[in-house]
Amino acid sequence: MSQIGIGFIGCGGIHRAHAPHVVEHPDAFIACAMDVNEAAVKKHQEDYGTECGTTELDHLLAHDDVDAVVVCTPTGFHPDAVIAAARAGKHVLCEKPMAMTVEKCEEMAQVCEDNGVILQIAFVRHYCNEWLKLREIIQDGTIGRPVVWRSVSGGSGAPTPWFFDREIGGGPFIDGAVHNYDWARFTFGEASRVSANLRKLKEATTAWDTGTAVVDFESGDQLIMVWSWGLPGFGYTVRADSAHDVLGPEGAITFPGDAKLSVRLQDGEHLVAFEPDTGADWFRRQMAHFVECVRTGEQPAVGAREGIEATRIAEAILSIGGEPGVVALD
Ligand SMILES: NC(=O)c1ccc[n+]([C@@H]2O[C@H](COP(=O)([O-])OP(=O)(O)OC[C@H]3O[C@@H](n4cnc5c(N)ncnc54)[C@H](O)[C@@H]3O)[C@@H](O)[C@H]2O)c1
């Protein structure tokens, strides 16, 4: 098969994490780039040497060289882009969160299925050695089960205003935390219940920007998150913007860095090493998997089901709003 032509829909921040791995891939090339902002298209073309650049989605989708697209628009615009691409017969790698609601996610999944195109969701932690090692240690039962995963994330929040828009970005409890929901599902199994206490502290936000949320899993495992994009911090954020630990009945896991996890058991601390890698490695592996799926027709390891279920948790938490509450998941 000749090289796979990839089109970018949205040429902002995260597309820069993907684009180099298309350029360097022996079986793929960037066939076209589209963004509603002409300057973003031009910058893409300058940086990656892509001949075809457009502000019109239809133009990109009509391009014969585009076999597949990477959707990197703000989240609220993912459904329109994915559905149009699928109807045009293009395979899709869609950034996370898949969409703002389960209803939209299900529609996207259905249209992709009906049109016989692959839909991969970019939950990049599936390609990160540290997260994979954590999962392995938990699933081995090294610290016993059930576990409590505590996660604290802070800082003044995402770089562009749309992330704070309730309809388009949804704030940290969907945008950032969806990585945690997905990872927890991947490790613990299905979620059974969520509870939350959310607030808006930042002036220019229509999304909940700060609060606490708890996700209970059928396994008895629990994810507890404290998150703020609403407090300035004055230069202070929790370590690398987030800190995690996992506590079990027989031990605890912490993240000391330096390509190691610390596992504390009754007989003391054990350092568990993993192959060091960087964000660029995760995005390269993710893109390589997508290209392989497009080439072979194989279903992606992280697909619509993962996108839908992580969004289900986010949607339930956001539905609770400012009054503390609990929602059972079916
Ligand atoms: N995997 C990760 O860890 C990660 C990190 C950051 C962002 N993201 C996700 O990636 C997506 C994009 O985030 P970003 O940080 O790149 O945002 P961004 O604001 O930097 O870029 C978004 C780009 O999309 C363009 N755009 C807006 N509406 C569009 C439309 N209808 N069609 C085409 N282009 C459009 C904008 O002009 C902009 O260039 C979001 O869903 C976000 O949650 C994922």
Going along the chain from its start, the domains and CATH numbers come out as: 4-125+280-301 (3.40.50.720), 128-276+312-328 (3.30.360.10)
148 CA → ligand 1 middle, Å:
32
How many residues would you count in the chain?
Answer: 330
Rounded distance between C-alpha atoms, residue 31 and residue 54, angstroms: 11
What CA–CA distance (Å, rounded) separates 239 from 157?
A: 14
**C-alpha span between 309 and 81 (Å, rounded):** 20
Main-chain phi, psi angles of 35, to 5 degrees? -155, 150
> Which tokens sit at 50?
């892509």
> Looking at ligand 1, which residue's alpha carbon is closest to its atom 8?
14
- CA torsion 309→311→316→322, rounded to 10°? 160
Query: Closest Cα to atom 18, ligand 1: which residue?
Result: 12
Q: Looking at residue 235, what is its pLDDT?
A: 67
Mutate which of 95, 98, 164, 282 for ligand 1? The one with the most ligand atoms within 8 Å of its CB, which is 95
Q: Which residues of 139-172 are buried (b: 16+ CB within 10 A; e: fewer)?
A: eeebbeeebbbbbbbbbbbbeeebbbbbebbbbb
> What is the distance in A from the centroid of ligand 1 to the CA of 155?
20
Identify the pLDDT of residue 322.
Answer: 87
Q: Read off the pLDDT of residues 43-76 as tens digits, 9 standing for 90 and up.
A: 999 999 999 999 999 999 999 999 999 999 999 9
Cα 157 → chain centroid: 16
In angstroms, what is the span from residue 137 Cα to ligand 1's centroid? 33
Q: How confident is the model at residue 123 (pLDDT cuts 50, 70, 90)?
A: very high
Read off the pLDDT band of 231 (50, 70, 90): confident
Mean per-residue pLDDT of the chain: 95
Q: Which atom of ligand 1 is nearest to the CA of 37?
A: 37
Given ligand 1 and candidates 16, 35, 47, which is best to mutate, with the most ligand atoms within 8 Å of its CB? 35
3-state secondary structure of 112: helix
Task: Band the pLDDT of 243: cuts 50, 70, 90.
Answer: confident
Sequence-distant (≥ 6) Cβ neighbours of residue 33 within 8 angstroms? 7, 8, 11, 41, 44, 45, 48, 50, 52, 53, 54, 60
- Report the pLDDT averaged over residues 180-198: 98
Minimum mean pLDDT among 195-199, 241-245, 262-266, 318-322: which range?
Answer: 241-245
Identify the weakest region by mean pLDDT among 80-84, 158-162, 234-238. Answer: 234-238
Question: 2 in helix, strand or coil?
Answer: coil
- The residue ranking higher by pLDDT, 110 or 230, is 110
Q: Give the HSE-up count for residue 298: Cα atoms under 13 Å, Cβ half-sphere.
A: 11
Q: Region 122-150: what's the mean pLDDT?
A: 97
Q: Which atom of ligand 1 is nearest to the CA of 16?
A: 16
Which residues line ligand 1 at a C-beta cut-off of 6 Å? 9-15, 34-37, 40, 72-75, 77, 95-96, 122, 124, 160, 175
The dihedral through the CA atoms of 81, 43, 286, 291 has a sign that is: positive
The pLDDT tens digits of the residues spanning 15-52 come to: 999 999 999 999 999 999 999 999 999 999 999 999 99
Phi-psi region of 89 (alpha: psi -120 to 50; beta: other; left: phi over 0): left
Distance 74 CA to ligand 1 centre (A): 4
Measured between alpha carbons, how far is 316 from 294 in angstroms, rounded to an integer?
33
Nearest to 183 by CA among 143, 242, 229, 230: 242
Question: Closest ligand 1 atom, CA of 73?
Answer: 24
Q: Which residues contact 26 (CB under 8 A, 6 or more apart)?
A: none
Pick the residue whose CA is nearest to atom 28 on ligand 1.
73
CA gap 82, 87 in Å, rounded: 9
| Spatial distance between the Cα atoms of 225 and 171, rounded to a whole number of angstroms | 14
Which residue in this structure is represented by tokens 């997905």? 182
